[in-house]
Amino acid sequence: MLAPNHRPDPWLTLTRDRSWAGRLTAIGEPLCLLLGGIILARLVFRGIGGLDADRFLFPEDGAVDFMAAARAEGLWHLVRYGLLISLFVVVSALRGRRGRQTFAVTAGPDGWARNTAVGLVLGAFMSLPTLLLMLADRYVDLGPGTPFWALMAEVEWDAAFWAFMAVSSFAVVPLVEELVARGYMLGRFRESFSPGAALILMAVVFALAHGQYHQANVLAIGHLVSLILGSVSMGYAVYRTGSLIPPVVAHAFVNIPLSASASGIVVAGSVVLLVTLRRAVSDWIRGAWATLVSIDDLGPLVVIVSGVAVSLLTLRATAWSPYLWLATYLFIFTISLVRRSSWWTQGRPAFSDPDPRRRSRQ
């Protein structure tokens, strides 16, 4: 049990392999596919004449074209996530993970309406740290922020601006990112890690994949911490509901751009909502905490999280860094394929934890 009154998460039926080799391959497979897929998508994108959205957001003549940027960003998302999701589905199917339920692509037992409401409450909870951080930055300099934040402060928020933000932030991105992060990757981690460890590992990968926050200042570090907390919250929501609807809705809620006055209103409204629903919110917090403190594979988690953090933080160190890390994860992934082949597993127990006490807690 992950928490009192907890429903089974959607990955309890997947095959378990909690050996050291299994844990390494559980991280090697998704990161190999992620890095390799992005590199391949970039080649395809350039091959079909795709242009980076930054060319239209930060042109030399200063004439920002949000509609052109929206089209460029939309094409990039189509190529990148179309390729990534296809790779994840195919490789998962080859390993025996089939059906949309194993990716949490379902309304779950509670249905669309209730899970949408859960997502809105979760979004209100997740938005508070980020909004308070941004409001504080208006009065105390916490760091330079990102180039796009500076652009947002200078341009008019017209229909073209909102079209670009819909494509790049609060409409398309939450759906495709949650399919990748909480749909595929979190489930893959659950095959070889305890529920709490899988949440932490997914949170670290998700947060550090946002390279715009790889800065040594309070503002950037604060956003990374908020991303980690938000990722844990969204992952736990999938455990609790068996559905991606709550994290998709929460992700979209958090990603909507807000002015200073709107931020203040959302903060006040979120506080009122959370206070009004304090019993239900407290129950969820206790459940998430119980999941995290029940981790029984802390040693492997610390080692693997450290390695993953180093790889993601140094991914842009040199032009060759992505390829070196891709080769590393490809090597680990290859071992995974070999270990799962019929000639390797013949005559051996198939990927179950030999300790029945740990099996009962999986």
Give residue 343's Cα distance to chain centre.
35
Nearest residue to 189 (alpha-carbon basis) of 28, 8, 337: 28
Contact 41, 84 (CB under 8 A): yes
State residue 349's pLDDT score. Answer: 42
State residue 339's pLDDT score. Answer: 62
State residue 12's pLDDT score. Answer: 59
- Give the C-alpha separation, 295 to 34, whole Å: 26
**CA separation, residue 195 to residues 11, 128, 129, 290, 307 (Å):** 10, 25, 25, 10, 20
CA dihedral 148, 154, 158, 164 (to 10 degrees): -10
State residue 340's pLDDT score. Answer: 55
Count helices and strands in the chain by DSSP H and E runs = 17, 0
Contact 35, 329 (CB under 8 A): yes
State residue 62's pLDDT score. Answer: 86
State residue 37's pLDDT score. Answer: 96
State residue 351's pLDDT score. Answer: 40
pLDDT by position in tens, the chain (length 362):
333 344 555 665 677 788 887 888 899 999 999 999 999 999 999 999 999 999 999 998 889 999 999 999 999 999 999 999 999 999 999 888 888 989 999 998 899 999 999 999 999 999 999 999 999 998 999 999 899 999 999 999 999 999 999 999 999 999 999 999 999 999 999 999 999 999 999 999 999 999 889 999 999 999 999 999 999 999 999 999 999 999 999 999 999 999 989 999 999 999 999 999 999 999 999 999 999 999 999 999 999 999 999 999 999 889 999 999 999 999 887 876 676 554 444 444 444 443 444 444 44
